[in-house]
């Protein structure tokens, strides 16, 4: 492993996420086991456990968002420490295969978390928390993803070493139909990052609104707050779609006007 302050922070965030996830899992498991036969007093106690679970999940999400940002920063910092690496593509090669899986999974975990948290927001606004059992079960379903995300962080940064890796330009040559994605987005046309993030958030918000609609129709007590949440999610999705569309123009201009990036 290449020990730096940033890789240490990533490992700490990973272990912190694991600890919170295991703690939240015990609460979710307890709720799903007891809720069916619980008395009124026990349901009140389980409802308090759920709100604690919800708070912990929000903290986990925040830690994973921080970890996702730190993931990029840390990988950038490792470029000069790995012989042959000229961009994050080289760092990913040094940490293969964990690096590639970790990168893709991070995006999926944030999306899956978004579904849970969207439902949690409407559940908190209705007396009696009607989705208490459902959200506890969904969290247990998401548990393997959360564990894998943090485990991959630890595995990636623990195994990455200063091995000699080929420059991305030897893999993505001038004749290659696909440019190096890291060089293209972060050097040649960084405005495309705005386009990708904006459209990605827009699609995610629409899918989250569909999940809210599904559970709102199944639970009549959620219908009012559910419709309000759907309107807000769709408006946010529209806003991000407009932002992404506007960003397309300067992104294209960057591609047309930028000189070829040379390492």
Residues 25-43: pLDDT tens digits?
888 888 888 887 878 778 8
Residue 67: name the closest of 124, 13, 4, 136 by CA: 13
Before 97, cis peptide (omega within 30)?
yes
C-alpha–C-alpha distance, residues 114 and 149, integer Å: 15
Condensed to tens digits (0 to 9), the pLDDT of residues 131-158 reads 888 899 998 888 888 888 878 888 888 8
**If you average pLDDT over every residue of the chain, what do you get?**
85
pTM: 0.81
Q: Is the pLDDT of residue 169 over 80?
A: no
For 180-209, b/e burial (b = at least 16 CB within 10 A) is bebbbbbbbbebbebbeebbebbebbbbbb
Condensed to tens digits (0 to 9), the pLDDT of residues 47-59 reads 888 888 888 888 8
Collect all residues with Cβ–Cβ distance below 8 Å to 184 and sequence separation of at least 6.
192
């Amino acid at each position: 492993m290449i020990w730096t302050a940033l890789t240490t922070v990533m490992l700490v965030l990973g272990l912190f996420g694991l600890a919170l996830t295991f703690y939240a899992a015990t609460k979710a498991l307890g709720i799903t086991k007891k809720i069916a036969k619980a008395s009124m007093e026990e349901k009140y106690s389980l409802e308090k456990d759920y709100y604690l679970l919800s708070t912990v999940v929000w903290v986990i999400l925040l830690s994973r968002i921080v970890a996702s940002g730190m993931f990029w920063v840390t990988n950038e910092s490792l470029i000069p420490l790995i012989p042959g690496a000229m961009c994050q593509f080289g760092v990913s090669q040094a940490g293969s295969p964990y690096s590639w899986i970790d990168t893709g999974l991070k995006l999926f975990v944030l999306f899956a978390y978004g579904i849970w948290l969207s439902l949690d927001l409407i559940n908190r606004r209705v007396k009696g928390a009607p989705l208490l059992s459902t959200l506890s079960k969904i969290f247990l379903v998401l548990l393997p993803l959360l564990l894998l995300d943090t485990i991959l962080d630890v595995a990636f940064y623990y195994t990455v070493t200063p091995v000699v890796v080929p420059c991305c330009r030897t893999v993505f040559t001038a004749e290659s139909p696909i440019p190096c994605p890291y060089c293209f987005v972060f050097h040649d046309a960084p405005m495309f990052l705005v386009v990708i993030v904006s459209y990605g958030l827009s699609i995610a918000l629409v899918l989250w609104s569909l999940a809210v609609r599904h559970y709102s129709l199944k639970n009549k007590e959620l219908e009012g707050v559910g419709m309000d949440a759907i309107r807000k999610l769709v408006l946010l999705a529209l806003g991000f779609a407009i932002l992404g569309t506007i960003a397309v123009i300067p992104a294209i201009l960057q591609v047309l006007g930028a000189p070829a990036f040379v390492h």
